[in-house]
Amino acid sequence: MPVQLNDCPVEVVFAILSGRWKIPIYRYLYKTNEPARYSALLRHLPAISKKILTEQLRELEHDGIIERNLYPDARPRVEYRLTSYGLSMIEFLDKMSEWGEKYIQSNNSHFQK
Amino acid sequence: MPVQLNDCPVEVVFAILSGRWKIPIYRYLYKTNEPARYSALLRHLPAISKKILTEQLRELEHDGIIERNLYPDARPRVEYRLTSYGLSMIEFLDKMSEWGEKYIQSNNSHFQK
DNA sequence: CGGCATCCAAAGTGATACTG
DNA sequence: CAGTATCACTTTGGATGCCG
C-alpha cells in the first residue's frame, strides 16, 4: 500500500487547506475578524464562482475550520466565521508566511514559473 | 483578475509543496539527513512510479528546495539532498505537524472523510 | 541506474443557467 | 440571497514500456 495520508500530520493539514480558494477565504475571515456573509465573500473574491465558493466553504466547515450560521428571514442570511480551531491555524500560517516572504525576497524567484 | 497567487506568501509556500509526493520526499530526505539516491527514494516510496518521482524531484529542485548531484560512472549515480533553503522549511513544518497531531487526536476526525 | 515518452484516468476548477 | 445542476475544460497523477 502507498503511504497512508493520515500517517503524516503535515499531509493532513495540507489536505485541509488545499483548494484554490481556501487560503484566500481564510485570510478574509481572519483579517476582517467578524462573520462574513456569503455575498461578501463572493464580492471579495472576484474570480470565484458561486459553485466553487459553496464547495470550498462546505469543505472547510466539514473539517471544522469554519462555522456556518443561517439566519432565516424573508431574505435568508448566512454567515461564516472561523472556529477556534480555525483560528489556531494562525500559528503555523504566520510561520509559513514569514518563510514565504523571505523566499520571495531572495533572488530564488524560480517559483514565478 | 483573480487574486494573484504571488500576492500571498502562504500560497507561494503551498504552491511549492503541493504535489502528491513532495512531503513524503521531504520527510525522507530530512529524517535520513544525508543525500539519497534516486533508487533509494523509489524503494522508500512504494507506490510511486519513476515518472512521477522524477517530476516531483525536478519541481522541488526548480524551486530551490533540493539539490541534484550526478556522479558519472560506469553505472550513473544520482543523489538528492535538501538545500539550506529546504532545510529551513522545518520551522513551519514542525508547527504544522504539531497542529495536525492535535487535530487528529481531537474527536474532530472529520478529515477521515 | 536513472531516467523520458506515450497514453489514459481522475480530480479540480469553472461558465452558465435555474431555484426556493 | 444563497445556493444547485449540468457540462466542459484543465491539471495532476499514474501505468507501462523503452533507452543510453
Q: What is the pLDDT of residues B26-51, one digit of tens each?
A: 999 999 999 999 999 999 998 899 99
CA–C1' A96–D13 (A):
26
The reply to whether A1 falls in a domain is no
Tell me the pTM. Answer: 0.91
Range of the domain at B65: 9-111
The reply to whether B4 falls in a domain is no
Total domain count for chain A?
1
* Contact residues on chain A for B23, CB-CB shorter than 8 A: 8, 10-11, 14
The reply to whether B3 falls in a domain is no
pLDDT in tens, B84-103: 999 999 999 999 999 999 99
pLDDT of residue B109: 59
Q: Which nucleotide is nearest to A70 (CA to C1')?
A: D2
pLDDT of residue A30: 98
Distance from the Cα of B77 to chain A's closest Cα (Å) equals 26
The reply to whether B106 falls in a domain is yes
The reply to whether A52 falls in a domain is yes
**Under-70 pLDDT residues of chain A:** 1-6, 107-113
- Measured between alpha carbons, how far is A105 from A9 in angstroms, rounded to an integer? 29
The reply to whether A94 falls in a domain is yes
Secondary element (H or E) of residue B81: strand B77-82
What is the domain-level CATH number for residue A74? 1.10.10.10
The reply to whether B53 falls in a domain is yes
Distance from the Cα of B8 to chain A's closest Cα (Å) equals 8
The reply to whether A4 falls in a domain is no
Identify the CA nearest to A68 among candidates A79, A77, A60: A79
